[in-house]
């Protein structure tokens, strides 16, 4: 069994990736500082898979501690690097925190890879690297315009750091996966998105409003150049997203990559407005949402959706789940969370 390091593996996307890796017979070690995640997510992983991954609580910004970790874990075959702060609005308010967390951690991981001859990296990138593109849908050849937020800029810079490090070190190879908008939850409703504090992403705010934790949902901007005036995003089910990580990982481990640094968009190819997502949630849940239209939020892109043809062709991967399944699974996860909380209390 090849050992795979998953940084940020107790987080939303990371925990789903850990499940998929373990179900594909990989030996998984999770590193997470738990700054925006819960170790309890690994309980859900264990219930789903019947196994518990090895877990190390570690702040990857700490260079000495990260070096010690790699010195004692020299048998890692590849790394999937999720660990990063990810809220657009928060990054606008606190850019230094985002640059420090997202870039220092990445550089420390890369240094550990070079020291221990770990050859393969999957990087959790983002469609925010495109800024507000002039032409849609977005392909991997779309120019990366100035980012609309410090968060997006950290992903642009992160990709540049990886590209140049790979170029300088012929034993290293990497794939950057540019996510569009991951949503939804595992079909078991045992793991899902659990933001600490007020959610920064749309769907958990929708489900928390639907269940009564939040009084009202604010829709940022109603005067965009879109069919109903609200932002358009390409929403992708988190399980589809992590399926692509397994395929990309095997591409590197089996030396099927066509160059030592590759980039793929991960999206469905379809865009939905915020109001369309709200409507889909109301139809799937039977719950009428209390929402209000408010001013635009700094850092938001007006509209963006993917052209996923390169990933379809080169990885043999296609997103399979539609918007209805995305919102339904997120709602089942939300209800299960609150039921577990009531039992525990």
Longest dimension (CA), the chain: 56
- CA separation for the pair 266, 127 (Å, rounded): 9
**Residue at token pair 């069919």:** 227
- CA separation for the pair 173, 162 (Å, rounded): 9
- CA separation for the pair 340, 345 (Å, rounded): 9
Catalytic residue among 130, 151, 179, 224: 151
Question: Would you call 26 a catalytic residue per the annotation?
Answer: no
- CA separation for the pair 84, 32 (Å, rounded): 10
- Residues recognised as catalytic: 151
């Amino acid at each position: 069994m090849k050992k795979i390091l998953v940084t940020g593996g107790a987080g939303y996307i990371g925990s789903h990736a850990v499940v998929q890796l373990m179900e594909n017979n990989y030996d998984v070690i999770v590193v997470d500082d738990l700054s925006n995640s819960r170790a309890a997510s690994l309980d859900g992983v264990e219930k789903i898979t019947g196994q518990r991954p090895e877990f190390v609580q570690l702040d990857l910004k700490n260079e000495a501690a990260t070096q010690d970790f790699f010195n004692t874990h020299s048998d890692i075959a590849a790394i999937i690097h999720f660990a990063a702060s990810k809220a657009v609005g928060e990054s606008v308010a606190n850019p230094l925190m985002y640059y420090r967390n997202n870039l220092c951690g990445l550089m420390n991981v890369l240094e550990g890879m070079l020291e221990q001859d770990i050859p393969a990296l999957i990087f959790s990138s983002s469609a925010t690297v495109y800024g507000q593109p002039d032409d849609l849908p977005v392909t991997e050849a779309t120019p990366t315009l100035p980012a609309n937020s410090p968060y997006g800029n950290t992903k642009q810079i992160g990709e540049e750091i990886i590209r140049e490090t790979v170029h300088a070190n012929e034993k290293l190879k990497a794939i950057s996966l540019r996510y569009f908008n991951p949503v939804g939850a595992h079909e078991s409703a045992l793991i899902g998105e659990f933001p600490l504090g007020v959610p920064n992403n749309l769907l958990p705010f929708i489900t928390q409003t639907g269940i009564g934790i939040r009084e009202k949902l604010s829709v940022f901007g109603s005067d965009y150049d879109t069919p109903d005036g609200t932002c358009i995003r390409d929403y992708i089910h988190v399980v589809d997203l992590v399926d692509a990580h397994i395929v990309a990982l095997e591409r590197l481990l089996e030396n099927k990559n066509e160059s030592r640094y590759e980039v793929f968009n991960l999206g469905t190819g379809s865009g939905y407005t915020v109001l369309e997502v709200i409507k889909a949630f109301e139809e799937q849940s039977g719950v009428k949402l209390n929402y209000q239209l408010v001013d635009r939020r700094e850092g938001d892109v007006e509209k963006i959706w993917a052209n996923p043809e390169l990933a379809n062709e080169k990885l043999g991967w296609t997103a399979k789940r539609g918007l209805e399944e995305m919102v339904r699974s997120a709602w089942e996860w939300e209800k299960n969370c609150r039921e577990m909380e009531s039992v525990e209390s």
